[in-house]
């Protein structure tokens, strides 16, 4: 069951999250892109665990990303403190890809 859940989370949450982040911050520096890639890799097991514990929260995250109700970086930043730092670096006003 855990493997099936991981596949669903990967398809419906992680892949759209990666795509949305690439679309929004495509002009970011290599360092920022690398930090976001590490963040997404580190956040994947967190999202899978959250989906195991609270499927409604996972479904909500998926819908918020797919409908554009919540910026993908906000959901990503909430996953781990490292993600919050990586996303924060993208939001620096004078940064390469500030939002």
Q: What is the mean pLDDT of residues 57-65?
A: 91
pLDDT confidence of residue 48: 93
pLDDT confidence of residue 47: 93
CA distance 67 to 61: 10
pTM score: 0.79
Q: What is the mean pLDDT of residues 72-94?
A: 85
Which of the four pLDDT bands, split at 50, 70 and 90, describes residue 95? Answer: very low
CA distance 99 to 94: 10
CA distance 39 to 87: 9
The tens digit of pLDDT for each residue in 32-49 reads: 888 999 999 999 999 999
Contact 48, 59 (CB under 8 A): no
Q: What is the mean pLDDT of residues 53-59?
A: 92
């Amino acid at each position: 069951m855990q493997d099936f859940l991981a596949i669903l989370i990967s398809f419906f949450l992680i892949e759209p999250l990666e795509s949305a982040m690439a679309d929004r911050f495509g002009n970011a520096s290599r360092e920022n892109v690398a930090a976001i890639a590490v963040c997404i890799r580190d956040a994947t097991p967190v999202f899978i665990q959250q989906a195991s514990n609270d499927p409604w929260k996972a479904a909500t995250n998926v819908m918020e990303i797919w409908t554009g109700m919540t910026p993908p970086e906000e959901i990503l930043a909430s996953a781990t403190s490292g993600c919050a730092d990586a996303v924060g670096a993208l939001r620096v006003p004078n940064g390469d890809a500030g939002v």
